[in-house]
Amino acid sequence: MNRRTFTLTTGAALLATWMPTSWAQGWPDKPIKLILSQPAGSGADSMARMIGDQLSRRLNQPIVVENRPGGQNAIGAQAAARSAADGYTFYFATAAALVMNSYLFKNLPYDPRKDFVPVGMVGTVPFTISVNAGSKFQSLGDLVAYAKANPGKLAIANEGPKTFSGMITRLLAAQLGIEVNSVPYASVSAGVTDTVGGQIEVLVSDVPSVSQMVTAGKLRPLAVTTAKRIAGWDQVPPVADTLPGFNYAGWIGIVAPAGTPSAVVQRFNRELDVVLSDKDMAARLLAIGPMTDGAGTVTQMGGMLDAEHSRWAKLTKDLSISPE
């Protein structure tokens, strides 16, 4: 290799290394799109807009929330996955979209592992087992005793077999050794209404969806699905008191289309962490959804996703659940 060739080659390599960093220094110079799979007015929509508002102030560009609901998250996830990896599209994603769907659906129009890169966590969403305030069940033990004495008669409302609450229902039945009647609802709000009204006995749902009715004394939580008690619900024991090691919670994270410049991902992660680390923001989020400990690092989120995939792969195998 002559000196001129070496100089050109070296210069090209240095330019390739310099360009992403240099380009990222000018990012963002136009509005950023934040796609989510839930409809306008939903809890996730409120969270995304709250966070987006604060991020837009830090980045000096509007954060435009784009709702793409439907298809068990597939519509929104596909739209995000097919977006340009230019640092101007991010996906506000659920555990179902990034992990669970891989083991429940055969023909997803996106690949959760290949189509996205991790950016940062938003928070975890604990789930609970609740009953009508007038229910005869005073504890999880009461519910289990009834179910064992009356196989198949205990009706448990959830959002369907391929949702987080539906999977929790199946997992609880399997690990507790009981046979239940899992009743799918089109929405968690409909399940809450029927449980409050006494049309169904038990509800498995995320905590935010029932917190108002619990506060009003119309629902009584028997247990939470996290390993430990949660803030504000200190009187409610975890399922782990009955099933040691039981620890399941929904979560929300932000990812970007694969190929998004690393410098942009790292910058977005840092700004997200600042927003989520604000105590006022954490309290506002907790009132409608997740418990947050900040965004964490990109590497930490990547490790969490790997661990979640391993766990749900084993869980669905243990429950003999095949993608359909």
The CATH number given to whatever domain includes residue 97 is 3.40.190.150
Q: Please tell me the predicted confidence (pLDDT) of residue 252.
A: 95
Distances (CA, A) of 132 to 10, 198, 287: 71, 6, 22
Q: Domain check: are 120 and 130 in the same one?
A: no
Torsion sign over Cα 263, 267, 96, 223: positive
Given a cut of 50, whether residue 6 has pLDDT beyond it is no
What is the Cα–Cα distance from 220 to 216, expressed in whole angstroms?
10
> What's the pLDDT tens digit per position in 228-275?
898 888 999 999 999 999 999 999 999 999 999 999 999 999 999 999
User: Does the pLDDT of residue 12 top 80, yes or no?
Assistant: no
List C-alpha distances in Å: 108 to 68, 81, 83, 237, 243.
Answer: 16, 12, 17, 37, 33
**Peptide bond connecting 28 to the previous residue in cis, omega within 30 degrees of 0:** yes
Question: CA 241, CA 34: separation in Å to the nearest integer?
Answer: 39
Of 76-80, 89-93, 140-144, 315-319, minimum mean pLDDT range: 315-319
Give how many domains the chain has, as a whole number: 2
The pLDDT score that the predictor gives to residue 7 is: 45
| 304 and 255, same domain (yes or no) | yes
Residues 45 and 115 in one domain: yes
| 114 and 142 together in one domain | no
Q: At 5, is the pLDDT very low, low, confident or very high (cuts 50, 70, 90)?
A: very low
> Mean pLDDT throughout 34-40?
93
Q: Flag whether 12 is in a domain.
A: no
Buried residues in 79-98 as b, exposed as e (16+ CB within 10 A): bbbebebebbbbbbbbbbbb
Q: Is residue 11 pLDDT above 80, yes or no?
A: no
pLDDT average, residue stretch 18-40: 80
Q: For a pLDDT cut of 90, what percent of the chain falls above it?
A: 74
pLDDT tier, 43 (very low <50, low <70, confident <90, very high otherwise):
confident
Q: Are residues 214 and 298 in the same domain?
A: no
Could you read off the pLDDT of 161-193 as tens digits, one per residue? Answer: 888 899 999 999 999 999 999 999 988 889 999
Same domain, 115 and 169: no
pLDDT of residue 288: 81
Enclosing domain of residue 164: 126-241
In a shared domain, residues 302 and 164: no
Average pLDDT of span 131-156: 95
Residue 90 bridge partners (DSSP): 34
Based on the fold, state whether residues 254 and 120 are members of the same structural domain.
Answer: yes
Give the per-residue pLDDT at 19. 45
As a whole number, the mean pLDDT across the chain is 90
Please check whether residues 98 and 204 belong to one and the same domain.
Answer: no
Q: In degrees rounded to 5, what are phi and psi of residue 189? A: -65, -35
Whether residue 115 is found in the same domain as residue 184: no
State residue 221's pLDDT score.
Answer: 96
The CATH code of the domain that includes 157 is: 3.40.190.10
Of 322, 311, 302, give the one whose Cα is nearest residue 113: 302
CB-count burial class (<10 Å; 0-12, 13-18, 19+) for 193? middle
Residue 131 and residue 235 in one domain: yes
